[in-house]
Amino acid sequence: MASFPTALQRNASLQAYHSFGCKVQAAGLAGFSGVEQIPELVAEAALPSLLVLGGGSNVLFTRNYPGLVLLNRIMGMRVEKEDEQHIYLRVGAGENWHQLVLHCVDKGWGGIENLSLIPGCVGASPMQNIGAYGAEVKDVIDEVEAWHLPDQQVIRFNNSDCRFGYRNSIFKQELKNLVVISSVRFRLQKQPKPNTAYGAIRQQLEAMQVSRPGIADVSRAVIAIRQSKLPDPKEIGNAGSFFKNPVVKTAVADELLAQFPEMPGYPDTAGYTKIPAGWLIEKAGLKGYRQGDAGVHQQQALVIVNHGSASGEELLAVAQLVQKKVSDMFGISLEKEVNILP
Ligand code: FAD
Ligand code: EPU
């Protein structure tokens, strides 16, 4: 993670603070290590809007940000309580997500190993209920603590208060830009049961010749899979999946299947089917598409990439082209997963 300014900076570059790496500025930029610093920084900046960033790995800036960007650097980890089966671990929102995973794997605490190598900070993990390889963070979140900006007070959310869904939560909806998540308490298993339900994990473990996997093996398998298909933002700008996988009525999926028998699909809630957006984009002929430095990744069509000096507007134009082509061909409208700013 890039080092961060402790004092307020004006007209500061955001290039090092977001994974698309576009050359944009914020009217104000500062880091904070405790929520009590927020009111002071907001008053000093006197700017029209506020955006909190962790690692900047799920945002796209389409132009200079006219407000104050605050980098959340609240650190710390402590075991708050434990029972026979669980460890309750409180983690500061500014901690790096993957380092947390490695720490838990090292301690033998299970529950987040399938989420290895997801970029970003702990504080953003409840935002879109991060998920990968058969796991979602909602299954281990016990409590989220946040600073409510309008009321200037701390609020605590239990798991059901967070209204988690697929890449969704109350923090991405009603409370967007109204709260600053300061810490998350995770409920981890002391006697972990490795989750190898996802086919790609089982294949990878087989390739690694692991027959009785523990959580460290699952973590290593997930890391290997991710490294083989997802671009590293240090080498090529991106924010992971740009769109959500669409969930459509099964009747709609069946009609499409009649036309495209090879189309993959997975049962979702009753009567609904999830279709991989990467397949739709590839089928629409856009895998590896490039317009200047903005494009669609060569190995994973769900990832929009910055090959060098693409602007946020250029990246957004490629995303819009993808939406149009997929809509024209399949009648499906792709919803953006990435947070578009301003
Ligand atoms: P940021 O980009 O900094 O912020 C994201 C949003 O959350 C913004 O709206 C921001 O304002 C808000 N926010 C951030 N911190 C706080 C806070 N403390 N309080 C309130 N609001 C806050 N995601 C997945 O779910 N699964 C994946 O498998 C996955 N793979 C990825 C692979 C790559 C290569 C990349 C680049 C991204 C991937 N992502 C994935 C997306 C991303 O890693 C996650 O969304 C991650 O949680 C973002 O964390 P961040 O700290 O970088 O968030
Ligand atoms: N596919 C293609 N072509 C492509 C890409 C994918 O045909 O170019 C098809 C294949 O059929 C493949 C299927 O899509 O089997 C699924 O692909 P993959 O396993 O790569 O997963 P995904 O659906 O594209 C989702 C998440 C990822 C997460 C992986 C693994 C969303 C929006 N994305 O991607 O999360 O890491 O599953 O669980 O749900 C993210 O949110 O940023 C992210 C990377």
Dig out the tokens for 4 from the structure.
Answer: 């961060």
Query: What CATH number is associated with residue 94?
Result: 3.30.465.10
Q: How far is the CA of 125 from the centre of ligand 1 (A)?
A: 7
Residue closest by Cα to atom 33 of ligand 2: 241
Is the pLDDT confidence value at 1 over 80? no
Question: What is the arithmetic mean of pLDDT over 306-314?
Answer: 98
User: What secondary structure letter does DSSP report for 243?
Assistant: B
Query: What CATH number is associated with residue 39?
Result: 3.30.43.10
Domain C-terminal end among 57, 72, 87: 72
The neighbour count for residue 333, using CB atoms within 10 Å, is 11
> How far apart (Å, rounded) are the C-alpha atoms in residues 199 and 31?
41
In a domain, 197, yes or no: no
pLDDT in tens, 157-177: 999 999 999 999 999 999 999
Domain C-terminal end among 164, 189, 214: 189
> How far apart (Å, rounded) are the C-alpha atoms in residues 230 and 248?
26
User: What is the position in ligand 2's atom list of the atom closest to the CA of 337?
Assistant: 32
Q: How far is CA 289 from the centre of its chain?
A: 24
Give catalytic status of residue 337 as yes or no: yes
Q: How far is the CA of 133 from the centre of ligand 1 (A)?
A: 17
Q: Which residue of the set 136, 143, 145, 337 is catalytic?
A: 337
Ligand 2 pocket member 342 (CB < 6 A): no
Total residues belonging to the chain: 342
In a domain, 222, yes or no: no
pLDDT in tens, 88-117: 999 999 999 999 999 999 999 999 999 999
Instruction: Note whether 83 and 179 are same-domain residues.
Output: yes
According to the model, what pLDDT value does residue 342 have?
87
pLDDT in tens, 315-330: 999 999 999 999 999 9
**Model pTM above 0.75:** yes
- Number of H-type helices and E-type strands within the chain: 7, 20
Sign of CA dihedral 183, 187, 190, 192: negative
> How far apart (Å, rounded) are the C-alpha atoms in residues 271 and 284?
26
pLDDT in tens, 225-279: 999 999 999 999 999 999 999 999 999 999 999 999 999 999 999 999 999 999 9
User: What is the position in ligand 1's atom list of the atom closest to the CA of 179?
Assistant: 20
pLDDT in tens, 164-218: 999 999 999 999 999 999 999 999 999 999 999 999 999 999 999 999 999 999 9
Instruction: Note whether 255 and 275 are same-domain residues.
Output: yes
Give catalytic status of residue 241 as yes or no: yes
According to the model, what pLDDT value does residue 6 have?
84
Instruction: Note whether 52 and 113 are same-domain residues.
Output: no
Is the pLDDT confidence value at 19 over 90? yes
> How far apart (Å, rounded) are the C-alpha atoms in residues 219 and 336?
28
Is the pLDDT confidence value at 5 over 90? no
* Residue of 127, 70, 122 lying closest to 93 (CA atoms): 122
Instruction: Note whether 66 and 112 are same-domain residues.
Output: no
In a domain, 31, yes or no: yes
pLDDT in tens, 138-158: 999 999 999 999 999 999 999
- Of 4, 18, 65, 118, which is best to mutate to test ligand 1, by the most ligand atoms within 8 angstroms of its C-beta? 118
Domain C-terminal end among 154, 189, 224: 189
Instruction: Note whether 162 and 260 are same-domain residues.
Output: no
Instruction: Give the count of domains, the chain.
Output: 3
Domain hosting residue 316, numbered range: 237-341
In a domain, 280, yes or no: yes
In a domain, 3, yes or no: no
Instruction: Note whether 67 and 141 are same-domain residues.
Output: no
Instruction: Note whether 45 and 123 are same-domain residues.
Output: no
In a domain, 264, yes or no: yes
Cis peptide before 342 (omega within 30 of 0): yes
Query: Which strands sit side by side in the sheet containing 266-267, from one edge to the other?
Result: 247-249, 272-274, 266-267
Instruction: Note whether 100 and 161 are same-domain residues.
Output: yes
